[in-house]
């Protein structure tokens, strides 16, 4: 598409107003690249960008500016760099990039700034520069938004690999006195057929390192790919299978002490006082440390610290949220929606007029609860404050951002903080700490305080209950949707009013043919701490929009699939994905006692259509037996990992649909463990088939799109089976045998 600058692009473009010609950040001689080389390379290594190094021994190392929480990013990004480099895959490895400004993710910033725009070549260098400076300014190294492959990979890794190959070819041409066009680079070797000369990349690395980094190295055509698009074993799997992978909770340092924390149970509350004596009297307890809103007990092991913490009776100032409840929050949302003081999300045409002129009006209200991240590894961090330095070991989704936040918490400069970024036992947005976000890593703050107080390294580990009750939650929301239907069963007008808007801005988009449509929202109704949750607002609107589309189909007397397809005349990619999943699932056929539901969402550049097959047990609970997903990410790098991510995202979304829900009473979160916040277990997970539809469109994400349509697909299947319309989640609150609390269509 043509270049149309967004507001964010124009604002941040001011960073580039230097009057100088600039070239791609990853392929430019910035001082930060020299720093990256000093941190990771040796004399004779070729490092044309912060992401890629070719050593004299011919090994290729890809430095990944993202955290590992099981999504397979390091392997996929290495594949993209190795593809353009024409490297021998057996010689390629990946490491987490240091949490240092030299590895700030300018490719990610550029991707965010450009959005869905295609930047013309004459502006590409300026865009790279803006991205780089924005990433440094924001301390950006974040993992989230399904951005690693589609931004870091496409913008950074491919260009780095292509530049390195071009430099190696030029070095060989100069060394052998031949034309560059006559040199072939393949499988980490350079060869010149006419002279019979050849050399490994490693043998030519030192000479290539002395050359200027090109800013326009050509990328390969997809037809020439030999690595990208093939399924490759992930680098991280062996260590996770044999137990050698070390997580934050596994950290052990000489002289380490262990701590447990109790935070104020009411969001925004503070600590008034605590009698430390009962804890200090117990075996192994070393210190009681307090912060503004927490009590931390330090002992010689975590179990003793936790037991000692239970002996304390802190006095809290619970603050303004002490009387808060789920009921009061819901009432506030409804009151705000009734008042109608809306901000516009988008507006096209005149939907109210279109609805008024329709043959029939359909309206429905939906609600979704707060959701916790519920990662298997609870929040933890090891910190050593020594010699004026703060050293941190933790699994985080933004190593550089965490470093900046920790510096502020510790009252020191970033140069005095080191973050060792470790793999995460789940993140889903919970561990994304950056100065630009409101999420504070309180466990790291507590570990800093405990290490200072004891003069020893301290590992703080939150209990499961603290982890769940002190989360930054996916927002609760209420949505009211209204649409008209013509006599021919076409949608005429669409109004979508809802409470609380977060990210991403396109989450309320609909891709069906509706000329007159609007989405409007109210804010300020949710006092609970908010944080990004896998697929973010797509999980809210994926349920409400796709459930309402089913309601419109039922009102029109149409099959849900046929109704959707009839409204996708301007969205051929979406239509193709729906048709594929319908064929996979055998839409229109059902086993006895079961029914199927369908839903579709585009999220983070990937279109996913899902079918869920459900039954209702004697206990009145829904059982999801099978799922089918068709996904169009444009193109795919590692098909096996992509399918695993769609499956994992669907299971995460299914957990939320069936069980997930955080409730608040007297300012406190009620649910504290998996007995009250259940999850889909291995034995309950449905059989899931995933097929990839490669349209050749711009590359989309993998980690989050599979979560967005799940709840609607299941709810729509329940309607098909029982005639009961689900407009509120989670499903565990309903008895589907009796239809208690459920609106009947």
Reported as a single tens digit per residue, the pLDDT across 95-106 is 999 999 999 999
The reported pLDDT for the residue numbered 444 is 98
Same domain, 353 and 387: no
**Same domain (yes/no): 388, 430:** yes
| Among 214, 220, 219, 166, CA closest to 23 | 214
- In angstroms, rounded to a whole number, what is the distance separating the alpha carbons of residues 278 and 313? 9
Res 29 pLDDT > 50: no
| Per-position b or e across 717-745, b if 16+ CB within 10 A of its CB | bbbbbbebbbbbbbbeebebeeeeebeee
- Both 334 and 315 in one domain: the answer is no
| Residue 741 confidence (pLDDT) | 55
Q: In the structure, what pLDDT confidence band is assigned to residue 128 with cuts at 50, 70 and 90?
A: confident
Q: Is the pLDDT of residue 126 over 80?
A: no
Do 516 and 558 lie in a common domain? yes
Q: Is residue 1 part of a domain?
A: no
Look at residues 211, 240, 269 and tell me which one is the last residue of a structural domain: 240
Same domain, 391 and 483: no
Q: Are residues 236 and 338 in the same domain?
A: no
pLDDT recorded at residue 120: 57
**Residue 213: is its pLDDT beyond 70?**
yes
According to the model, what pLDDT value does residue 119 have?
58
pLDDT tens profile 695-737? 999 999 999 999 999 999 999 999 999 999 999 999 999 999 8
What backbone torsions phi and psi does residue 174 show, to the nearest 5 degrees?
-70, -40
Per the DSSP assignment, residues forming a β-bridge with 384 are 391
Is the pLDDT at 30 greater than 70? The verdict is no
Give just the sign of the alpha carbon dihedral 434, 97, 423, 684.
Answer: positive
pLDDT at 111: 87
- Exposed/middle/buried for 442, CB within 10 Å: 0-12, 13-18, 19+? buried
- 601 alpha-carbon distance from chain centroid: 16
Is a pLDDT exceeding 60 seen at residue 564?
yes
Q: DSSP characters for 36-88?
A: HHHHH--TT-EEEETTEEE-TTS-EEEEE-S--SSS-HHHHHHHHHHHHHT--
The per-residue pLDDT for 131 is 83
Domain for residue 466, yes or no? no
- Average pLDDT (62-72) is 96
Q: Which tens digit of pLDDT belongs to each residue from 432-488?
A: 999 999 999 999 999 999 999 999 999 999 999 999 999 999 999 999 999 999 999
**pLDDT reading at 404 higher than 70:** yes
Task: Identify the bridge partners of residue 112 per DSSP, sorted by sequence position.
Answer: none
pLDDT digits (tens, 9 = 90+) for 418-445: 999 999 999 999 999 999 999 999 999 9
pLDDT value of residue 112: 81
Same domain flag for 67 and 147: yes
C-alpha 54/C-alpha 202 separation (Å) is: 6
SS3 content of the chain, % helix, strand, coil (to 5): 35, 25, 40
| pLDDT higher than threshold 70 for residue 574 | yes
Beta bridge pairs of residue 519: 346, 496
In a domain, 35, yes or no: yes
Q: Could you tell me if residue 245 is inside a domain?
A: no
Please state whether beta strands 389-394 and 417-421 pair in parallel, antiparallel, or not at all (unpaired).
parallel
Last residue of a domain, one of 240, 273, 298: 240
Note whether 80 and 195 are same-domain residues.
yes
What pLDDT sits at residue 116? 60
Q: What is the pLDDT of residue 15?
A: 39
Supply the angle between the helices 710-722 and 639-658 in degrees, to the nearest 10. Answer: 60
DSSP element (H, E) containing 606: strand 606-616
Task: Give yes or no for residue 742 having a pLDDT over 90.
Answer: no
Quick one: 623 and 491 in the same domain?
A: yes
Omega cis (within 30) before 730: yes
Q: Is residue 696 part of a domain?
A: yes
Backbone angles phi and psi of 157, in degrees to 5: -65, -45
Q: Within a 10 A sphere around the Cβ of 198, how many other Cβ atoms?
A: 15
pLDDT-derived band of residue 260, with 50, 70 and 90 as boundaries? very high
Instruction: Please state the pTM of the whole predicted model.
Output: 0.94
- Residue 353, domain member (yes or no): yes
Query: Does the structure show a pLDDT above 80 at 28?
Result: no
Within this chain, do residues 182 and 300 fall inside the same structural domain, yes or no?
no
Residue 7 pLDDT grade (very low, low, confident, very high; cuts 50, 70, 90): very low
Strands 270-273 and 285-291: unpaired
- Give the pLDDT confidence score for residue 118 in this predicted structure: 57
**Among 103-107, 162-166, 494-498, 512-516, the least confident range:** 103-107
Structural domain count, the chain:
3
Q: For the chain, how long is the longest CA-to-CA vector?
A: 84
Q: CATH number of the domain that 493 lies in? A: 3.30.365.10
For the chain, give the number of residues: 745
- 268 occurs within a structural domain: yes
Domain boundary among 176, 208, 240: 240
Residue 124 pLDDT: 61
Q: Which domain holds residue 517?
A: 328-370+473-744
DSSP 25: G
Residue 614, token pair as written in the block: 């459900």
Cβ atoms of 257 and 300 within 8 Å: the answer is yes
Domain annotation covers residue 2: no
pLDDT > 70 fraction of the chain, expressed in percent and rounded: 93
- Would the pLDDT of 123 be above 70? no
| Beta partners for residue 380, in sequence order | 461
Q: What local confidence, expressed as pLDDT, does residue 25 receive?
A: 34
What was the pLDDT predicted at 694? 96
Helix (H) or strand (E) holding 315: strand 315-317
Do both 395 and 513 map to the same domain? no
Indicate the SS3 state at residue 261.
strand
Q: With 50 as the cut, is the pLDDT of residue 366 above it? A: yes
Residue 515 and residue 432 in one domain? no
């Amino acid at each position: 598409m043509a270049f149309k600058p967004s507001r964010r692009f124009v604002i941040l473009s001011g960073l580039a107003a230097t009057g100088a010609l600039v070239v791609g950040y990853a392929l430019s001689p910035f001082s930060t690249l020299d720093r990256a080389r000093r941190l990771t390379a040796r004399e004779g290594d070729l490092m044309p960008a912060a992401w890629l190094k070719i050593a004299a021994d011919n090994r290729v190392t890809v430095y990944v500016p993202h955290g590992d929480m099981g999504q397979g990013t390091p392997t996929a990004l290495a594949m993209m760099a190795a593809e353009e480099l024409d490297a021998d895959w057996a010689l390629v490895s990946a490491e987490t990039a240091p949490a240092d400004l030299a590895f700030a993710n300018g490719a990610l910033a550029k991707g965010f700034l450009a959005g869905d725009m295609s930047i013309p070549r004459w502006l590409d260098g300026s865009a790279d520069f803006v991205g780089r400076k924005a990433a440094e300014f924001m301390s950006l190294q974040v993992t989230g938004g399904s951005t690693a492959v589609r931004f870091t990979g496409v913008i950074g890794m491919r260009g780095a690999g292509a530049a390195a190959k071009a430099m190696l070819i030029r070095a060989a041409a100069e060394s052998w006195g031949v034309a560059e066009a006559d040199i072939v680079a393949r499988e980490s070797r350079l060869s010149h057929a006419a002279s019979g000369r050849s050399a490994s990349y490693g043998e030519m690395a030192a000479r290539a390192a002395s050359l200027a980094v090109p800013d326009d190295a050509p990328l390969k055509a997809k037809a020439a790919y030999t690595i990208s698009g093939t399924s490759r074993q992930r680098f991280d799997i062996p260590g996770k299978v044999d137990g050698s992978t070390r997580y934050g909770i596994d950290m052990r340092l000489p002289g380490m002490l262990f701590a447990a924390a109790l935070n104020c149970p009411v969001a925004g509350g503070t600590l008034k006082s605590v009698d430390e004596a009962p804890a200090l009297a117990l075996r192994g307890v070393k210190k009681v440390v307090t912060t503004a809103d927490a009590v931390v007990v330090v002992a010689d092991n975590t179990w003793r610290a936790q037991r000692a913490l239970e002996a304390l009776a802190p006095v809290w100032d619970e603050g303004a949220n002490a009387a808060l409840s789920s009921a009061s929050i819901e009432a506030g949302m409804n009151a705000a929606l009734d008042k109608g003081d809306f901000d516009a999300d988008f507006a096209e045409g005149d939907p109210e007029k279109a609805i008024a002129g329709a043959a029939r009006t359909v309206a429905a209200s939906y609600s979704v609860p707060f959701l916790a991240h519920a990662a298997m590894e609870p929040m933890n961090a090891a910190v050593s404050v020594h010699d004026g330095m703060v050293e941190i070991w933790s699994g985080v989704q933004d190593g550089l951002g965490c470093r900046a936040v920790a510096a502020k918490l510790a009252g020191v400069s970033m140069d005095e903080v080191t973050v060792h970024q470790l793999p995460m036992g789940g993140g889903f947005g919970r561990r994304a700490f950056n100065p630009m976000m409101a999420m504070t890593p309180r466990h790291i703050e507590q570990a800093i305080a405990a290490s200072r107080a004891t003069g020893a390294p301290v590992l703080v580990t939150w209990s499961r209950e603290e982890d769940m009750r002190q989360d930054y939650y996916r927002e609760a929301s209420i949505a009211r949707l209204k649409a008209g239907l013509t006599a021919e069963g076409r949608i005429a007008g669409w109004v979508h009013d809802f409470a609380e808007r977060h990210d991403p801005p396109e989450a309320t988009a609909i891709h069906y043919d509706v000329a007159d449509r609007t989405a409007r929202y109210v804010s300020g109704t949710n006092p609970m701490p908010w944080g990004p949750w896998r697929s973010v607002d797509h999980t809210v609107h994926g349920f409400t929009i796709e459930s309402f589309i089913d309601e419109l189909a039922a009102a029109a007397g149409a099959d849900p699939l046929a109704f959707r397809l009839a409204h996708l005349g301007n969205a051929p990619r979406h239509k193709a994905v729906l048709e594929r999943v319908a064929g996979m699932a055998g839409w229109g056929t059902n086993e006895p006692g079961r029914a199927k539901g369908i839903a579709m969402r585009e999220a983070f550049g990937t279109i996913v259509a899902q079918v869920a097959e459900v039954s209702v047990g004697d206990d009145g609970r829904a059982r999801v037996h099978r799922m089918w997903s068709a996904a169009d990410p444009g193109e795919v790098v590692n098909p096996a990992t992509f399918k695993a991510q769609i499956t994992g995202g669907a299971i995460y979304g299914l957990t939320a649909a069936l069980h997930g829900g955080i409730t608040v009473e007297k300012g406190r979160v009620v649910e504290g463990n998996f007995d009250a916040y259940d999850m889909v277990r291995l034995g309950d997970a449905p059989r899931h088939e995933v097929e990839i539809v490669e349209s050749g469109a711009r590359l989309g994400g993998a980690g989050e799109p599979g979560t967005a349509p799940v709840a609607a697909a299941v709810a729509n299947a329940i309607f098909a089976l029982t005639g009961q319309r689900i407009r509120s989640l989670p499903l565990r609150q309903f008895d589907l045998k009796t239809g208690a609390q459920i609106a009947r269509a």
